[in-house]
Amino acid sequence: QVPLVESGGGLVQAGGSLRLSCAASGRTFSGYDTGWFRQAPGKEREFVAAITWSGVNTWSADSAKGRFTISIDNAKNTIYLQMNSLKPEDTAVYYCAKTTRWRSTSSNDYRYWGQGTQVTVSS
C-alpha cells in the first residue's frame, strides 16, 4: 500500500491554476515535514516546495516563489499545493514525500513517496 496519495492534477492552459492534494493513507506522519517534487520527461526530479508538520515554516524553489503556495490541514492529514500562473515548463509529474530532515530540498532525504499526479500546462 502506498502511504501517500496525490490528486488534483490535470490539463490547464498557461496562466491557469490547480490545487494538488497529498493525503496520507493509513498513518498520520506526525512530526514529518512534507515536500512536493516534480519530474518532467528526461529531467531530474526537482524540489518544488515543502512545509513543516506544524505548518509554521515553508520553503520553496525559486521557480515556485510567488506562484505556488503550500499548506497543511492536520485534521485531514492532507497537504496542499496551490499552483497559480502555471507555465508550460511546470508540466511534470508531481510527487509528495515525507522527511524527518528539516528544510530539506533533496529527494534523498525523503523517505515516503506517493505515486504522483500528472500536471500538464498547455501554451
Tens of pLDDT along 45-67? 999 999 998 899 999 999 999 99
- Which DSSP letter does residue 114 get? B
Q: Which three cell numbers stand for residue 101?
A: 530532515
The pLDDT assigned to 74 comes to: 81
The pLDDT assigned to 25 comes to: 81
Below-70 pLDDT ranges, the chain = 1-2
The pLDDT assigned to 1 comes to: 57
Burial 107-123 (b: 16+ CB within 10 A, else e): bebbebbbebbebebee
Among all chains, which residue has been given the C-alpha cell 492529514? Answer: 77
CA distance 19 to 88: 16
Q: Which three cell numbers stand for residue 21?
A: 492534494
The pLDDT assigned to 97 comes to: 96
